[in-house]
Structure 1
Amino acid sequence: MPTWDLVVRNGIVVDGTGLPRRRADVAVKDGRIAAVGFVDGEGAREIDADGRVVAPGIVDPHTHYDPQLTFEPYGTSSCFHGVTTVVAGNCGFSVAPLRPGDAPWLIQLFARVEGMDAAALEGIPVDGFESFPEFLESMRGKIGINAAFYVGHCAVRRYVMGDDCQTREATPDEIEQMVAIVRDAMAAGAAGFSSTHSPTHFDSADRPVPSRLSSMDELRALVEAAGRGGAGGSIAYLPGSAVGGITADDEELLIDLALSSRLPVVIQGLGARSKVDAPTAGWDNAKRFVDDATSRGAAVYSMAMSKPFNRTFDLAAGTKLYEGALQFHRMFTEAPAFAERIVLLQDPAFREAIRDSVDNPNRDGSLGATLPPPHWSVLHVNKVTKAENEKFVGRSLVDIAAELGVHPTDAMVDIALSEDLATEFVWRTETPEWIEGTKIAQDDPHMIVGTSDGGAHLDRDDGAEAHTWFLEHWVREWRGFTLEEGVRQITAIPAALCGFTDRGLVLPGYAADLMIFDPDTVGPDHKEFVHDFPNGAGRWTSKPKGVHATIVNGVPIVLDGELQPDAGLPGHVLRPNDTQPAAGGRR
């Protein structure tokens, strides 16, 4: 009879502590690591990891998997890349609480703000829960990876206020009702509370999302309720100045929220104009802020966008990347049909109106979206359909415009018009300045590697590859981190931040969440657009190279890039600062 449920033999253990690697076997019993070193006795299942690294499974603290996990239990594509634990419900958007009959509202919200297919979202089994505690219970025993869930401000506000949630501030009585919901959610095991005042967040009807209508008193009350209502966790929040640079008032607000909740407050894009830019010119001021917060006992962190954008689009299909360039974006809103768009772009008056729009994006949230558009210097021609345009491929719009003696807007539109708008452009933010700025920021302990946005924006990309990209480039290629420190950044640190006391380390007694990979080849490999969601909805998926196994609570769920048919559903619904037996999947 086997001694162990699983033995991983002959691997190089990088245990997540940051200590030097060592060759060792890892034995697993009842979902937990039982031994690390020489392991005697056989396993019911054995994996030979010779030549490979055995590390803790990746903990991804910024995802939007809560809708997807209700109908696709493994969190694809993140699980292919070694992720064993995700935190969902970020940015103020959670699936619950949800009143009966309110599913259409929920679907249109996620469809807009997180780029999810509305047809796929119809697969959410909304009749299985109403309250947030009921939602958590409905997920137990039904997921293949571990997941923790924030209770989102938008859902809470909608539940209490109905349609008024997007038109006005809440009354004191309504705030008290929301406080009770947040307390109940935290007591049931919520990962924390999430909210947004970001001016980039609108729903499908171009209305500000509910949390943007909340007063600071409401926000403070709910954040304090989260701190007092549970056993830990964190606050995920996007302040109103998250785009363009954190203001002094928002700095004080963030410190206040951290002190009143006594929880870590996690923001995005610190030191940059948005979460997708490198913290370059603004980093010194950002560093001053977080150091001041620490000196006052306030735990304020920021997610670091460690993977640059590499997003393609064409003017025929359109794109949401220019929503913050209000005049430029008119080509998509005023001319939704192809023929109309051609005519509009040929109109000299329209061209004159949009010419400077990208250089002068909107900064007033009352006028519309404030999402910063791609700079012309990082926008390139990626693919063309005519031979005479081949000379533009791989070049930036700034370079092309200088050669042609025109504004970059005109260069872009003229090339596109010459090919019936089929020219493919690519927004590629990786520059020497981006690498240097991101490296400096990532070295600071207030910055958390992540922001994969797993489960979101699958209409445009699949960010699930963020962590294998980090291992390939920041660890192997650029040597920004040692292998040991790089692993710690994406395992033990986010686990500690989120309060997962038995995850993120390969040590006896810890949950047997493991990733086995080849450090010489690990990285993203290929992407594919598939139709595997409810109602045949399509999405981008991503597969890595060099990842041999993803193991959740002692069960290999992915081997060599393929989901295992015998894996079952070993994932747990996690709650902060809670340690339970790891076997069984009902946690």
Structure 2
Amino acid sequence: MADYDLLIRGGSVIDGTGADARIADIAVSNGVIVAVGADLEGTADTMVNASGSLVIPGIVDIHAHYDGQATWDSRMHPSSWHGVTTAVMGNCGVGFAPVVASNHDKLIELMEGVEDIPGAALHEGLQWNWSTFGEFLDAVDERPHDIDIAAQVPHGALRLHVMGERGANHEDATADDIAAMAELAREGIEAGALGFTTSRTRNHKTSTGAYTPTLTAAPDELIGIAEGVGAAGSGVLQVVSDFLDVDAEFATLRAMMERSGRPLSISVVRNPMAPDDFRVWLDHISAARADGLELTGQVAARAVGLILGLECTLNPFLTNPVYREIADLPLAEKIAQLRDPDFRARLLTEAGERLKAKLGGNLIGRFDLLFEMADEPDYEPSLEESIAARAARAGVSSEEFALAAMLDNHGVGDGKGLIYLPFLNYVDGTLDGLHEMLSHPFTVPGLGDGGAHVGTICDGSFPTTLLAYWGRDRERGTLPLPYLVQQHCRDTAQTVGLFDRGVLAPGYRADINIVDYDNLRLHKPEIVADLPAGGKRLLQRAEGWAHTFVAGVETYRNGKATGALPGRLIRGAQPAPAPS
């Protein structure tokens, strides 16, 4: 009989504590790390030579939206291609429980609108074999997965469940409504939810165009529900907000933490329309920490940007009435029309007329912020490489250049060319503000939205960007690799109450990545029609993730699935291993 289930030999170990890399072996038994050290003795059922490779803990992604996908799919792509071994869903106040049958469509409309997940895929994929939050967790738990999954109680579902149309119409909750929502939140935590989440941003709308039901929830509603979480003695709080009244909003966040005794995290981004506001938010976070409140900022690994293309939800011609004549055609027919000289001339003439009339002046028409995506995407592109700048150098209109970029696709000619529109965090052509956010002592990486925005955004690949770009490639300033590993492994895990993972040390879960760090890089996203009802989504692969282990079982080898599905549902906060 072997001494261990798994023995990883001779890797450059960055253990997640912030310590520098060291050459060490890692031994695993029964899904737990049992020894880390140089030249460990013993045999193992599986031996891996990690010499020359980086060995790090599994990535803990605390901001995902796999609430639907986890019920019908065992593989949490794209996240599990990027070293993620734990994902937390139910963010931003959207999800599918608790629910009554009459609200099924409303919750689908909410998820479809807020997170850009095709309604047809949700209608076909969701089995609705649950009503309570606990039953939803059971439904997720029935299916094996390639990573561990945790869930949170969504405010949108609570409000619709308790208040019905009054909740959807943004009416104020009564004291009885608040008490009922607080009780449901407590029950959800006791059933195994990691926390409670809500959205207070006007960017979140249902597929019918209505604002999310939670947008205008009054402070007493948010505080009351937070108290319900606190009554469970566990759980975290997550909020996304526009912070239109910064002082009032942070006063509410403080009250939620003070009255519940629970930690809270918020989304922090740099808006080019108010480029210095993020520093005010960070100052509020620091002040709360100084007062003993566990307030944490979740920040991105790159710009929050849109991807445009002929198969995507958006493209630069979406509002052009000539393009709308062919918008619903299959791709091959669409390409044929766009290559037809007469149709193309009409399309570009209309685009020119709309430009003169200053129509369609929205983000997808900002050619000075649109960039053609190469096979290895540049996520901090120079403004000199924008489509507007390149078109000017080529002596053609921006619209013509953009159309050619989508149709030609770097000479392939398949109509699958993609255009990148970096927006949040990308100011004056740089991500310098994001460097400040990532360096802040009270922020952690998040906001990857794995499983969401499937036709417009593909940010589940954030972990690869964080390690490869911020740790190695960025010419304007990198960050220490041990710090980045600590941030996206141990610190993210602890932010949501998971103290049993994110560190390579005896007693911790054996969630481990072996990385060919010198060759770690991203490929361009691609559209794949693999959702229920033939729904399409953007997926993005990477190179360099040599081996990924979940609970000591190898799930991916060089980006290919091994067939093993050791992932499980995480029920509630997890304590740190007992000292050995």
TM norm structure 1: 0.82
Residues 1:346 and 2:350 aligned together: yes
Q: Deviations over 1:376-397 (max 9, x none)?
A: 54234679xxxxxxxx994453
- 1:269 is matched with 268
Counterpart of 2:209 (choices 189, 206, 226) is: 206
State the shift of 1:347 in Å: 9.1
In 2, Cα distance between equivalents of 1:52 and 1:425: 34
SS where residue 17 of structure 2 aligns? coil
- 1:364 is matched with none
Residues 1:65 and 2:62 aligned together: no
SS where residue 525 of structure 2 aligns? strand
Q: Deviations over 1:414-466 (max 9, x none)?
A: 76799999997531455775332211221111221121111111213421211
2:33–2:508 CA contact under 8 A, matched in 1? yes
In 1, Cα distance between equivalents of 2:524 and 2:372: 21
- 1:508 is matched with 506
Counterpart of 2:548 (choices 543, 547, 550) is: 550
- 1:229 is matched with 232
* Structure 1 residues 448 and 280, CA gap change in structure 2 (3 angstroms): farther
Instruction: State the identity as a percent.
Output: 27
Size of the aligned set, in residue pairs, is 540
Residues 1:197 and 2:197 aligned together: no
1:196–1:240 CA contact under 8 A, matched in 2? no
* Structure 1 residues 124 and 23, CA gap change in structure 2 (3 angstroms): same
* Structure 1 residues 288 and 374, CA gap change in structure 2 (3 angstroms): farther
Amino acid at match of 2:212: V
Counterpart of 1:536 (choices 519, 522, 534) is: 534
State the shift of 1:319 in Å: 5.2
In 2, Cα distance between equivalents of 1:442 and 1:337: 43
- 2:112 is matched with 111
Which residues of 2 match residues 286-365 of structure 1 at below 5 A?
286-309=281-304, 311-313=306-308, 346=350, 354-355=358-359, 357-358=361-362
- 2:337 is matched with none
Residues 1:426 and 2:417 aligned together: no
* Structure 1 residues 344 and 434, CA gap change in structure 2 (3 angstroms): closer
Residues 1:32 and 2:32 aligned together: yes
State the shift of 1:79 in Å: 0.9
State the shift of 1:541 in Å: 1.7
Runs of at least 5 residues in structure 2 that lack an aligned partner in the other structure: 328-342, 375-382, 408-414
In 2, Cα distance between equivalents of 1:399 and 1:528: 24
- 1:362 is matched with none
Residues 1:474 and 2:470 aligned together: yes
- 2:497 is matched with 499
In 2, Cα distance between equivalents of 1:418 and 1:56: 43
- 2:19 is matched with 19
SS where residue 463 of structure 1 aligns? coil
Amino acid at match of 1:535: A
Amino acid at match of 1:144: D
1:57–1:85 CA contact under 8 A, matched in 2? yes
State the shift of 1:295 in Å: 2.5
In 1, Cα distance between equivalents of 2:494 and 2:95: 22
State the shift of 1:518 in Å: 1.6
In 2, Cα distance between equivalents of 1:251 and 1:517: 40
- 2:459 is matched with 463
Counterpart of 1:573 (choices 542, 563, 570) is: 570
1:331–1:344 CA contact under 8 A, matched in 2? no
Q: Deviations over 1:47-72 (max 9, x none)?
A: 22111111110000111012111111
2:8–2:25 CA contact under 8 A, matched in 1? yes
SS where residue 554 of structure 2 aligns? strand
* Structure 1 residues 336 and 573, CA gap change in structure 2 (3 angstroms): farther
* Structure 1 residues 349 and 55, CA gap change in structure 2 (3 angstroms): closer
SS where residue 194 of structure 1 aligns? strand
Amino acid at match of 1:113: V
In 1, Cα distance between equivalents of 2:27 and 2:224: 46
Amino acid at match of 1:6: L
State the shift of 1:574 in Å: 4.0
- 2:10 is matched with 10
State the shift of 1:165 in Å: 2.0
In 1, Cα distance between equivalents of 2:206 and 2:261: 31
Q: Deviations over 1:195-222 (max 9, x none)?
A: 0121111111111121124222212211
